[in-house]
Chains A and B, each alone.
Chain A
């Protein structure tokens, strides 16, 4: 993966310039602003990134991803691999060894009991653990000795770094959470709000959805860290106000997730007291083509299911023309600036997984028009193309968000030049991204022709992500409209590749397979039309050193190294 070169290099310089001689707590107080306020500090009970990132100040996993997507040991001595014998040759188990003499913030030792307990806690059937997918395929977690744990998988796992890896799968203290198993998890308010951890900070006070006060962990494993004695994490407001508080008034040291229009962010940065930082991960803003017919006149058991193929989006020429009409660079310029880049790939990174698919980057409206002409779509008197009485009239929906509405207007404008009529609809995110089977407006139900939103995958391995497009994984009435294959894509050849990928451990072959699958969904079929590889962007004050933006793990992954600079 690449980093947004100019923006991030500054941060990197500071990082290496500084880590020298500090003393724990010598730099006083640091203030962080999250415009979406954390609701809990237990990632297993969390509702999203905001909670996990806040929790990463306190709770730590065995290993984390660094800004390049490489694995770094945290509580583990080293990252287990097949080469060092930590991962079994048949890929059915992984053995982790804890660093010696690790202590919880309350002074008790960290042992393999705690690691096993964390797995039991999340895998309990009544717990409603939001990170359960991390433990997918785990059969048992065995304690070998006080510092060694072995995770056994039911089947070979080419990517065994699901459990205990990354900010979403940290280690909980058994002593604190042992009465919170299963259905009781939800009742453990005090524990969820103030977990005891091994991280650089401990919770002093937690006010849900408002503000969290932290203090330096007296038992942190590096006696010189963290540099800050106390930390406040304030939540609430909106991204504009958060950017302002760091970049314009300097009231805060760090603002998280600044999804702002590029000109607005650039203007704030011009003040000169702080700077935005960005890093790219796997988030891709894309158009999803509906291969099934969302016509409201259809029976509700047939509508938008594979039994009713779409009247014109099943024509690959139409999908391709719709993609060709889009000027992705202009979209980036208007909506994301340096924090986005045009892409034709569903899997944009890490670099070794990204296909060299760049044909879509140049807009070609004339070519798209020729393509539609050749395919027999003829312009009518009102300028809209038809074929066999079928008008190219599209209902285009997305979630409510300023940038997305501007994109909708632009895309409608381009499609209009193709002779395609477009009706726009925006739906509040809390409904659009929900899975309420009774609502007609969820992205799963897809009662529209084209939809626009972003999706990503955790960690660096795209296997589960690509497996979403399996035949039968589409939302439909018999599955209560649950399912991830929202395009209703179905190709037996693709399914075969999914199976091959899940059994292949050789990395080079995996890269090739992933690229082929990516191409099948994008440039070979235009079922998914990627638009923009979206980076994560945050901002920090110039007086804050050591910040190293990370899009593969929590942004606050190296908070122990943050410090004050002149």
Chain B
């Protein structure tokens, strides 16, 4: 057995080849498109829809989305609030836009921290036996730590300095993102380690080692590409977990200030009225699901593109 990945690394056409493979992946293109749309929507949406998400409009509370008209012509709707309003008359569309910004940022940053820390720990533990014990015990420790007291402790210690540095909202954001990120890398680490343990005894790695490939090159060129599949899966799952963890924290009162919407919090707040106002759970819920799904397909496409073995070819 030779290492097919390393073998195909002719330095010239690598990136164009990956791009071509990626473009051919229909799921990835659609997923990427939707994700792009969501990202642009939450970043630039308030330029198009300039309603203040926090403005109260008590007279127009509990408005329904425009589409309700399709089956209920008596519904309380209005063009001023195309997706309706909540029980205090806050505009749902504006909240979705602003809330999405926070949720996506929390998800993405926490996912990156988790990927970076998890992959590093996993590779080091899998590759170097003397690091394996300490790093895996560290993983066990963090897995066992209860997140709520941890968040409380971190908030007590760092909220005041962070608030002074970044202001109340951004300070809280840094705090929550860091805690979620730092408590969600363990799964990635364990899985990467198990793959490395398996890979490093395979012939092509032994061969690469025997010809004196340096550890860094070994990791970068041989090990990482071959562990890409599980890494991408944990990235996708990590994004979803981070968004939902944030909402659960807000739900329990450990999260963002009350006038700081996120998708998860909008969903959590509306659960008790879901039979009367289903749109209030469906809209943020769909936004979360759509983001996670598109990231998942994007991940699929990336994996296929980076892994030349999986170029679609007829089986047998």
Please tell me whether chains A and B touch each other in their complex, using a CB distance cut-off of 8 A: yes
Cα distance A516–B55 when bound, in Å? Answer: 40
Determine if B156 and A428 form an interchain contact, defined as CB atoms under 8 angstroms apart: no
- Which of B156, B257, B269 sits near A425, CB closer than 8 Å? B257
**Could you tell me the distance in whole angstroms from the C-beta of A87 to the nearest C-beta in chain B?**
46
Residues of B close to A260: CB separation below 8 A: 272
Contact A440 B156 (CB under 8 A): yes
B74: Cβ under 8 A from any A Cβ: no
B276 touches A429 (CB 8 A): no
Any A CB within 8 A of the CB of B286:
no
- Across the interface, name the chain A residue whose C-beta is closest to B169: A423
Residues 158-196 of B at the A interface (beta carbon under 8 Å): 160, 164, 168
Does A70 make an interface contact (CB < 8 A)?
Answer: no
Asked if residues A428 and B252 are in contact (CB atoms below 8 Å), the reply is yes
Report which of A264, A406, A427, A438 forms a contact with B253, defined as CB distance below 8 A.
A427
Taking a contact as CB atoms under 8 Å apart, the answer to whether B54 and A240 are in contact is no
Given known contacts A330-B58, A409-B56, A431-B152, A261 and B87 CB-to-CB distance under 8 angstroms: yes
B217 vs chain A, min Cβ distance (A):
49
Q: Confirm or deny: B273 has a beta carbon within 8 angstroms of a beta carbon on chain A.
A: yes
The yes or no answer to B72 lying at the interface (CB within 8 A) is: no
Q: Mark B27-66, 1 if CB is under 8 A from A, else 0.
A: 0000000000000000000000000001110100000000
Interface residues on chain B, number (Cβ under 8 Å) = 24
Nearest A residue to B252 via CB reads A428
> What 0/1 readout, one digit per residue, does chain A (255-277) give for beta carbons within 8 Å of chain B?
00000110110010000000000
Q: B204 at interface (Cβ–Cβ under 8 A)?
A: no
Please give the distance in Å from B264's CB to the nearest CB on chain A. 15
Our pick among A240, A267, A410, A425 for the contact of B276 (Cβ within 8 Å) is: A267
Q: Is the CB of A399 within 8 A of B88?
A: no
A11 to chain B, nearest CB (A): 25
CB of B258 closer than 8 Å to a CB of A: yes
Q: Mark B264-279, 1 if CB is under 8 A from A, else 0.
A: 0000010111011000
Instruction: Tell me the bound Cα distance from A402 to B87 in angstroms.
Output: 11
Chain A residues 439-478 with CB under 8 Å of chain B are 439-441
The A487-515 residues at the B interface (CB cut-off 8 A) are: none
Chain A residues, CB < 8 A from B257: 423-426
- Whether the Cβ atoms of B87 and A406 lie closer than 8 Å is yes
A31 within 8 A of B: no
CA distance A425 to B58 in the complex (A): 22
Find the A residue at minimum CB distance from B168.
Answer: A423
Closest to B251 in A: A400
Q: B253 contacts A263, CB within 8 Å? A: no
Encode A395-431 as 1/0 by CB contact (under 8 A) with B: 0000111100110111011000000000111111101
CB distance from A247 to the nearest CB of B (A): 13
Q: Which A residues touch B168, using CB under 8 A?
A: 423, 425
> Binary interface profile of B, 92-134, with partner A (CB < 8 Å = 1, else 0)?
0000000000000000000000000000000000000000000
A334 at interface, CB cutoff 8 A: yes
Check: A296 CB closer than 8 A to any chain B CB.
Answer: yes
Interchain nearest-CB distance for B14 vs A (Å): 51
- State how many angstroms separate the Cβ of A501 from the closest Cβ of chain B: 38
Cα A428 to Cα B252 in complex, Å, equals 7
Q: Which of B54, B90, B272, B275 contacts A261 (CB 8 A)?
A: B272
- Contact between B58 and A424, CB atoms less than 8 A apart: no
A-B contact count (CB 8 A): 63
The answer for the CA separation of A129 and B152 in the assembled complex, in Å, is 29
Please name all residues of chain B whose beta carbon is closer than 8 Å to the beta carbon of A429 when the two chains form the complex: 253
Whether B259 lies near A263 (C-beta < 8 A) is no
Q: In the complex, which residues of chain B have a beta carbon less than 8 angstroms from the beta carbon of A410? A: 56, 58, 88
Instruction: Enumerate chain B residues within 8 angstroms of A413, measured Cβ to Cβ.
Output: 55-56
Q: How far is the CA of A105 from the CA of B55 in the complex (A)?
A: 61
A372 to chain B, nearest CB (A): 21
Q: B258 contacts A405, CB within 8 Å? A: yes
Q: Which of B88, B152, B156 contacts A409 (CB 8 A)?
A: B88
Q: Which residue in chain B gives the minimum CB-CB distance to A414?
A: B56
A261 to B156, CA, bound (A): 31
What residues of chain A lie closer than 8 Å to B58, measured between beta carbons?
Answer: 330, 410
Looking at B55, B253, B273, the one whose CB has the most chain A CB atoms below 10 A away is B253
Contact A428 B254 (CB under 8 A): yes
B265 to chain A, nearest CB (A): 10
Q: When the two chains form the complex, which single residue of B88, B160, B252 contacts A400, counting CB atoms closer than 8 Å?
A: B252
Cβ-defined contact, A334 with B56, below 8 A: no
Cα distance, A330 to B89, chains bound together (Å): 13
**Interface-centre pick from A425, A429, A440 (highest chain B CB count, 10 A):** A425
**Contact of A408 with B273 in the complex, beta carbons under 8 Å:** no
Question: B152: which A residues are within 8 A, CB to CB?
Answer: 428, 431
Is the CB–CB distance between B273 and A263 below 8 Å? yes
Bound together, the chains give a CA A400 to CA B248 distance in angstroms of 13
Q: Which chain B residues lie closer than 8 Å to A425 at the CB level?
A: 168, 257
> How far in angstroms is the closest Cβ of chain A from B59?
11
Nearest neighbor of B160 in chain A, beta-carbon distance: A296
Asked whether, in the complex, the Cβ of B259 is within 8 Å of the Cβ of A409, the reply is yes
Cα-based distance from A341 to B273 in the complex (angstroms): 23
Complex alpha-carbon distance, A240 and B269, angstroms = 12
Name the residue in B88, B90, B275 with the highest tally of chain A Cβ atoms < 10 Å from its Cβ.
B88
CB contact under 8 A between A263 and B276, given known A406-B88, A426-B258, A428-B252: yes
| Nearest A residue (CB) for B277 | A263
Report chain B residues within 8 Å CB of A441: 156
Which residue in chain A gives the minimum CB-CB distance to B161?
A296
Min CB–CB distance B159 → chain A (angstroms): 8
A413 CA / B168 CA spacing, docked (Å): 18
Find residues 282-299 in chain A having any chain B CB closer than 8 Å to their own CB.
296
Residue in chain A with minimal CB distance to B276: A267
Query: Whole-angstrom distance from the CB of A512 to the nearest CB of chain B?
Result: 39
Q: Contact flags (1/0) for B223-257 with A, using CB distance below 8 Å?
A: 00000000000000000000000000000111001
Give the docked Cα–Cα distance between A423 and B156 (Å): 18
Query: Which chain B positions have C-beta within 8 A of A267?
Result: 275-276
Known: A410-B56, A423-B168. Contact between A400 and B253, CB under 8 A? yes
The CA of A426 and the CA of B90, in the complex, are separated in Å by 19
Q: Nearest chain-A residue to B167 (Cβ)?
A: A423
Pairwise interchain contact B258-A409, C-beta atoms closer than 8 A: yes
* A402 pairs with B88, CB closer than 8 A: no
Contact indicator A264/B252 (Cβ below 8 Å) = no
**Complex: how many Å from CA A426 to CA B260?**
11
Checking A334, A401, A405, A440 against B160 with a beta-carbon cut-off of 8 angstroms, the contacting residue is A440
Give every chain B residue within 8 A of A330 (Cβ-Cβ): 58
Interface contact B253-A399, CB-CB below 8 Å: yes
A449 to chain B, nearest CB (A): 14
Q: A458: shortest Cβ distance to chain B, in Å?
A: 27
**Alpha-carbon distance between A431 and B149 when the two chains are bound, in angstroms:** 11
Name 29 interchain pairs, CB-CB below 8 A, sorted by A.
A261-B87, A263-B87, A263-B273, A264-B272, A267-B275, A296-B160, A296-B164, A334-B87, A334-B88, A399-B253, A400-B252, A400-B253, A401-B253, A402-B269, A402-B272, A408-B258, A409-B54, A409-B88, A410-B88, A413-B55, A423-B257, A424-B259, A425-B168, A426-B253, A426-B258, A428-B152, A431-B152, A438-B156, A441-B156
Closest 3 CB pairs of A and B: A400-B253, A405-B258, A428-B253
Chain A residues close to B by CB (< 8 Å): 240, 260-261, 263-264, 267, 296, 330, 334, 399-402, 405-406, 408-410, 412-413, 423-429, 431, 438-441
12 new A-B contacts at CB < 8 Å, known A330-B58, A440-B160: A240-B271, A261-B272, A261-B273, A263-B273, A296-B164, A402-B269, A408-B259, A409-B88, A413-B55, A424-B258, A425-B168, A428-B252
